[in-house]
Every structure is written in structure tokens, then in C-alpha cells.
Structure 1
Amino acid sequence: MSPARLLLAALLLAALGACGADGTGGPTPPPATGEDAASFGLWTPSRFDTCTKEQHDRFSVIGPDGKRYPTWHPPVDPQTGCRFGHEHGRDPRGSALYGEIGDIPFGYANEQLMTWDPAGHRHEDHVGHKIEWENGVQLQRSLVPGGSAGVVPIGVTCDFLTKMHQGTHSADAFANNLHELVYHVRCSDGTRISATVMTAFGIPGEFVRSCDKTTVIRAGAPVPASSPAGGGVRFIPDLECVRRHILVPPGEFSGFSGGLYEDWVSANYLRTPDGRQLAYFDPHFAVFSPSRFFDASRPGNVGRSVDACFMVEGDRRARGGECDASTAGGTLTSLDHDDPRSAFNGLVREVYFNQTWITNAGGPTVWYTDPFGGNARPTPFPGSVRQVLAAIDNTRPFPLESQAFGASRNYGLWQGRPAGVHAPN
């Protein structure tokens, strides 16, 4: 490593160390219990990764329960230059909320679910945890419902910081609708929310075909079997999407954004035991070029997106775009789905920030809910998750315009160079 890079690595490590004894920024963590959460220590290096498990597990944070959790890290270890082969989205230290929130423990809601419902626990893999944030967002409304006449700012700015578990490399999300969501917002009108929930994206055991947003695909039994249904939906591509948009006749280019694009729409509530709504928020999360699609003819129902580059049906095949990039302009005749040369790695994503409603005027600013956001009360209970809400009512007579962020960012780079990120990511 060059002297300049060694100096940069040392400075970055110093910045990480300055965050606190356990690597966190923001509030002082609780005393460590010496226990590891179920989400900690799951990652092991693949044949393409050069970091060790021990190097990876240095990036940890003590959660509100005193257990050790994994947290955000860059795709390359700043101390050694080794590669982890996966990324967790945008560096949270750039968020205006980082000083207050600190590092986010991955899998905290899942951990509390094991106490709340021991028979209905839901574990998620490591690489699916993704962070996105945006500072100084001007909230907007449509001049005419539907937005056809344009939008105008409403005079309120917000800082958003979110962490979503969105695995687009495995069969997990085909049937499983429960995924951890962390959602922090601070706005100039007094809106303040910090929520962590197990979000139920639509109906367990099924998803909706992403390229027509209508066809329901039955995908098997969910885990846990007791998974509740929720608002929103998981739009996921399947083999039919590949046939419609990726395999094209001569003279056309494949429509990758139509055929291999994934969008998870959420609808989240914090409610008291009698059903009174305290808060509602509904971000949704989209992924360009996921590394898999649903194919009932394949083992585990998993079709590999890069394999579509080599499919031929009559005169129809993939042309251009991600397939040209993955196959060196068509010179490769096969490529493993986890090869870093594949452009189907889930690196490019976008988050849509929509409504954030709080109906908590005069109420406590700290509530405790079950891991799904229900049974809210002012005092903790076994399996509860701490939620923060401003004591306001910020509802408006009009909906806010949806705003998307992140699609122009490439989290597979480190110091401007490819960082070896590959599926699973």
C-alpha cells in the first residue's frame, strides 16, 4: 500500500475509533452484556473476498439491549485494504442525524422478536442490510392531485436516515414478507421520529410480478409460519419478466429496468393496544439489476440474472446494457452469478420517501412497541422496541409528493475504484 493510502487508512480508522469505545457515534451505549446478537458473526468470506471473518467482525456496535451487533462498514477494510465483497449502502457518518443516532445495529428488531414470539423468530442474512440517507430534503406537494401540473415546496425541510434489510440475491424474499426497517426523520416543522420495526411487506407466501404489477406469484410457505400480512407489496421479477423485457429480437436493446427491477413498498404503523394510530410512514425501496429472479423450474425457484445473458429463445436474446458489461461485450459464454464481473449485483438502489404522519399531540415522546409496531405503551416490556415520536400532530390535508434518492450513487466503489462487490450483496 502506498504511503498516501496508508495515511488515509490511518485517518479513517482514527475517525472510526473517535466515535466511541464500541465504534459508535451519538448517544452513549448501554453497558455491554458480553452477548452477541443472532445477527452478529454471520458473514464468512467467499472465494472472491480477501478479508477474514475477524477483520469483518471488528465493525460492530452495542445495541440498546447491551448485545453486540454488526453495523455499517465500507466495502474495503480501511486498515488493510482487503475486500469484503459486499456493501451496506451509504456511509451513515455523512448524515445530519448521525451525531444523534450513531451507528445502527443490524438485526435489533429481529432480536427482540425472539423474545416477543419465541416460536415466530425471523433471522435475516448479513449482506442485505442497506443504509440510505438524505439531508435537507424540501418537502413538496402536487399542485393538482396526480402531479400532472407540477409540484411546489411546502416550506419544510427534513433529514432522512433509513436502514432496510432487502436481500435480492436469494429466494428469501419470494415467500418471506418480514424484513427489518429502521427509520429516522427530523424536520423543520418539529416532526421527529425514530422507529425500528419488523415491516410486513404485503402478503406472506407470495409476491407480485414486478413487470406488470398485477400478477400474484405463490412462492411457498413463509418463515415464520405466523408472519402477519401487512400493507404494501413486494414487486419482484420472474422468468416472464425476463422473457418480456430482456430477451429481445434483433435491432432492439434489452429493457433491464423493466425486466430486472425490484420494488418493495411499505406501509408502517405505530399503534396503541386499542388500535389508536401514533405514527404512519411508508418509504419504499427499489433495486436495479438484482442478482436473481423467480423461476419455478430452477432449484429453490432461483433464476440467476446473469444467466439471462446467455439465454436464447428463437431469435430473441439479451442485447446491450448489463449483459454486455457482464460478458465483455458478448465474448464470455458463461459467468457464475457471484463473479465480481457480473453487473447483476444489487449495487444500484433508490429509496422513496413519502408520508411521515405523527398523531401524538401532547403524548409521550418515547414509546415502546412490539417488534411489529403494535401494543405501544410508555414503559418497556419483554420484547419491546423503543420508538421516539415528537409530541405533535403533523397531519396535513394533502399528501406529500414522493421523492427518490440514491439511484445515481455507486456503493461498489472505494476511493473511486471498483471494490470487488459481487452477489450475494
Structure 2
Amino acid sequence: MGSIRGNRMLGAVILPLTIMLAGCSSAFDKSTGPETATGPATAFGKWTPGPGECSAAIHDAYSVVGPDRQLYPTWHPPVDPATGCSFGHEHGRDPRGSDLYQEVGDIAFGYANEALDIYDPATPRHEDHVGHKVEWENDVEMRLNGDAASAGLRITCDVLTKLHQGTHSKDAFTNNLHELVYHIRCIDGTDMHLTMMAAIGTPGEFVRSCDHDAHVQVGTATPAGSPSGGGKRILPDRGCIEEFFLVPAGQSSNIGTALRESWQISQSIRTEGGQTIASINPYYQVLHPSRFYDPVLPNGVGRPLDACYEVEPNGDYAQTSLCDNSTADGTLLGVTFDDPRSEFDGVQRFVDINSNRITNADGPDVWYSDPFGKNARTEPFPGSIRQVIATIDNDIVLESGPAIGRNRNYGGPTVHAPN
């Protein structure tokens, strides 16, 4: 596939579809989509280059026209192939390799956020550019439960998803609204194409990475009226660093317990009458984020890289190859969190697919929901988002989808936090 830069992107359409097993009919016609943008969306042009990085103009050439005919940023590689310059950040896996790409097109980063501006102008929620992360896998074999598993039934799915999952700033300590795009198509007829502002857990707090029963109250979310949602945001804090990252001589730092983030989503599409017609619960995992919560610091953000240089009064210190590699075994002093040499950059991630339920046998296959996936109806309304869901009840529970992306590393010599 060729470069996705430039005007070719302006004809792309970010609209969901459904492929029914009988007849393979599409729920939309790409030929009727927008040809040119009426103007930039709020998310467009937000990225500012650092020293020596690509210009904003080169970055903004990676763009797509959204369903609202506004211009949005979209996926791009960490290094621009035409010029060789670097953007310093990455957005995960190139979606053009997904079997779903030809139908769903390029993902408009920030479209659900823009819809929220229209649906409820008093509660805007806009996110930074670098946090948009794409992951996909073709022919994913699902693990089934009950009679389906006993019968040896085999179901495979194509999955393409994008979550705004910033792991460098204080945003997720309080803010639980994050843009989610979720496409899945399975050979049993399960077919969903969803875009929404996912409410992940409770606003104003998070759950500790080293104690999943402990909720840390931080402050007021943005927007202040953010709804609570299912799932949780499991994030590291200073206590986890002191207990599992800074350890006695002769021990190894427990990086998984100290730092691993798990953004656990439980999201649904519900009609205005309250009926659930689709539900998903993917978990988005990050192994080596560049931040943890530290209430003592002015902005509440601590840096794992800074902790690499610490020695506690009792002699505990970090003992991990992540620190060794980032600081040349401690010989490089003063390496900062945003240095490309730091391995705390959030480039290793994976997604647990988990269950996907549809109760929509009576249809229709196209619904229009509010930006949170609620109040779905058959006709569009101001601030609504088009959701496409197969007209089936999937009797077989796709109980435990495998992880996708576990062995991929999206870093490179020029990628650095913020990322």
C-alpha cells in the first residue's frame, strides 16, 4: 500500500458498516460520502513539533474527512517516508493491513469528542493528539464457553480498534471519558462498528496498579459532569513505585505490578427505552508508561525514569533493565522522561478482546446514539453518532477473546514521551 499522506485522504470516509453473512450487503455506500472538508475539527492541527521533528504541515497532511465533513487527524507512521523526518510519537499499528480497512477507511481521531460538543456544548471533552492508539488483528480465534466450547466450535473474528490512551500526563488520573472506536466482524455473524466517548470507571479517581481494590481519589474530572461507566482505569501511583519498583539489593523490580496500566472497558449501545442492543468489554493494556501519580508533586505526575536515579533512605533502588538501558547502566545522568533513550514511553501495548454481545435480531442495523452510546434511535439527531450493529442475537457467547498486539513494540529511535 502507498503513503496515506495528502489529498487522497480527503476522499476517505469514516463510516461504519455491517457485512451480513447472507449476501454481504453493506450498511452504507462509500461513494455517497464527503469529498472535501468544510473546515477543520477541533482535533486537527493540535500537535506541535519538537526540535528537529517534522513540520506541522507534514503532520497535518495525514488527515481524513469525517462523517460531519470536518477535517480530522488520522494514523501516520512514526517517521514520514517521503521526507525521513520524525514525528516523535506513534499511533500503533497501521490500520491499512486490517481486513476491515477497505470498508471502514481511515479513523478520524477526535470525531466522538466533536459530537459531544454538539450534543452537550456545556461539557466539552477534547484529548491530546499523541494518545490515539490503533490495534488490529485478522482471523482472531475466540475462546468460547459452555456448549459451544464442548462442541469444538471454532469462531474467528477480524478486529480493528482505537482508544485514546494517553499514558504520559495527569489526564487519566481524573478523566474517565476517552474516545473509543471498535470494529469487529466474526464468521458467526457478529458484526459491530461503534464509535463513542467511553466512560471508563468513575470520574475523579483511578484504581492502583499494585492493589486493584484500592481507589485513589484525585480531583474533579473534565468535564465536571462526566458520567460514571463500567470497568476501571488501573494506573500506577507513588506507593506502587516505592513498594515494587524501588526494591532491596539483590531483588528485581516488579515492573508489571508497579507500572502496568489496564484500561478496562465495559461499554454498551442502548436504545432511548433502555434496551441494550450491543455490549463489549475490551481491556487496553500498557506495559511501560512514562508517568505515575504522585500527590506530592505540583502537577501530580511522577516519572519512572526519575525513579531510576533514586535511592531510598533504606537503600532500596530500581533494579530493572528498563532503567539500565535508559541510563547506560547509570552512567548517563539527567536523562529526562521525554528523551528517546528512555524506555518508559508507552510503546508496548496490547488489547484483550473479551466478550462481544448483540441483541438486535429485530433490527435495524443502523442506530444513532448519543456520544456515550445511549439513547439510540433510528434517526439522527444533533450530536448523534452512527452505530452499525448486525441484526442478530449472537447465541454463542464470545466469552474470552485472546490478546492482540502482545508481542508488538511500536517504538523506534526517535519515539519518545509524550507518546
TM-score band, normalised by the shorter chain?
Answer: over 0.9
Q: Secondary structure at the match of 1:213?
A: strand
Structure 2 CA distance for aligned equivalents of residues 308 and 299 of structure 1: 17
Match of 1:35 among 36, 39, 52: 39
Structure 2 CA distance for aligned equivalents of residues 17 and 157 of structure 1: 35
* Shift in Å, 1:334: 2.1
The residue aligned with 2:391 is 391
Residues 141 and 401 of structure 2 are in contact (CA less than 8 Å); yes or no, is this contact kept in structure 1? Answer: no
Going from structure 1 to structure 2, the CA distance change for 1:19 and 1:137 (only over 3 Å counts) comes to: farther
Residues 13 and 67 of structure 2 are in contact (CA less than 8 Å); yes or no, is this contact kept in structure 1? Answer: no
The residue aligned with 1:8 is none
Alpha-carbon deviations, 1:31-50, whole Å to 9, x = none? 43421111110001113x42
Alpha-carbon deviations, 1:130-166, whole Å to 9, x = none? 000010011112579xxxxx99963211000000000
Going from structure 1 to structure 2, the CA distance change for 1:152 and 1:86 (only over 3 Å counts) comes to: farther
Structure 1 CA distance for aligned equivalents of residues 180 and 301 of structure 2: 25
Alpha-carbon deviations, 1:168-225, whole Å to 9, x = none? 1000000000000000001101111100010001100000101111111011100001
Q: Secondary structure at the match of 1:109?
A: helix
Structure 2 CA distance for aligned equivalents of residues 347 and 325 of structure 1: 15
Alpha-carbon deviations, 1:288-344, whole Å to 9, x = none? 110000000011110011111011112100012211111111112221110111000
Structure 2 CA distance for aligned equivalents of residues 293 and 348 of structure 1: 16
The residue aligned with 1:243 is 242
Structure 2 CA distance for aligned equivalents of residues 362 and 267 of structure 1: 24
Residues 241 and 260 of structure 1 are in contact (CA less than 8 Å); yes or no, is this contact kept in structure 2? Answer: yes
Structure 1 CA distance for aligned equivalents of residues 129 and 70 of structure 2: 16
The residue aligned with 2:323 is 323
Alpha-carbon deviations, 1:106-131, whole Å to 9, x = none? 00000000000000110000000000
Q: Secondary structure at the match of 2:207?
A: strand
The residue aligned with 1:422 is 416
Within 5 Å, give how 1:238-387 maps onto structure 2.
238-313=237-312, 314-387=314-387
* Shift in Å, 1:284: 1.0
Q: Secondary structure at the match of 1:113?
A: helix
The residue aligned with 1:114 is 117
Greater displacement, 17-26 / 226-235 = 17-26
The residue aligned with 2:90 is 87
The residue aligned with 2:68 is 65
* Shift in Å, 1:74: 0.1
Greater displacement, 299-308 / 109-118 = 299-308
Match of 2:2 among 9, 12, 17: 12
RMSD: 1.9
Going from structure 1 to structure 2, the CA distance change for 1:358 and 1:336 (only over 3 Å counts) comes to: same
Structure 1 CA distance for aligned equivalents of residues 277 and 226 of structure 2: 23
Identical-residue share of aligned pairs (%): 53
Aligned residues: 402
Residues 73 and 88 of structure 1 are in contact (CA less than 8 Å); yes or no, is this contact kept in structure 2? Answer: yes
Residues 23 and 59 of structure 1 are in contact (CA less than 8 Å); yes or no, is this contact kept in structure 2? Answer: no
The residue aligned with 2:162 is 163
* Shift in Å, 1:12: 3.4
Alpha-carbon deviations, 1:365-421, whole Å to 9, x = none? 11000000011111100000000010000043x5612411112111124xxxx3x00
* Shift in Å, 1:19: 5.6
Going from structure 1 to structure 2, the CA distance change for 1:388 and 1:57 (only over 3 Å counts) comes to: same
Structure 2 CA distance for aligned equivalents of residues 214 and 352 of structure 1: 21
Structure 2 CA distance for aligned equivalents of residues 21 and 315 of structure 1: 58
Structure 2: gaps of 5 or more residues? 16-29
Q: Secondary structure at the match of 2:2?
A: helix
Q: Secondary structure at the match of 1:387?
A: strand
Structure 2 CA distance for aligned equivalents of residues 119 and 170 of structure 1: 24
Residues 284 and 352 of structure 1 are in contact (CA less than 8 Å); yes or no, is this contact kept in structure 2? Answer: yes
Residues 347 and 411 of structure 1 are in contact (CA less than 8 Å); yes or no, is this contact kept in structure 2? Answer: yes
Residues 348 and 410 of structure 2 are in contact (CA less than 8 Å); yes or no, is this contact kept in structure 1? Answer: yes
Q: Secondary structure at the match of 1:242?
A: helix
Structure 2 CA distance for aligned equivalents of residues 23 and 363 of structure 1: 27
* Shift in Å, 1:22: 3.7
Residues 201 and 234 of structure 1 are in contact (CA less than 8 Å); yes or no, is this contact kept in structure 2? Answer: yes
Structure 1 CA distance for aligned equivalents of residues 140 and 152 of structure 2: 10
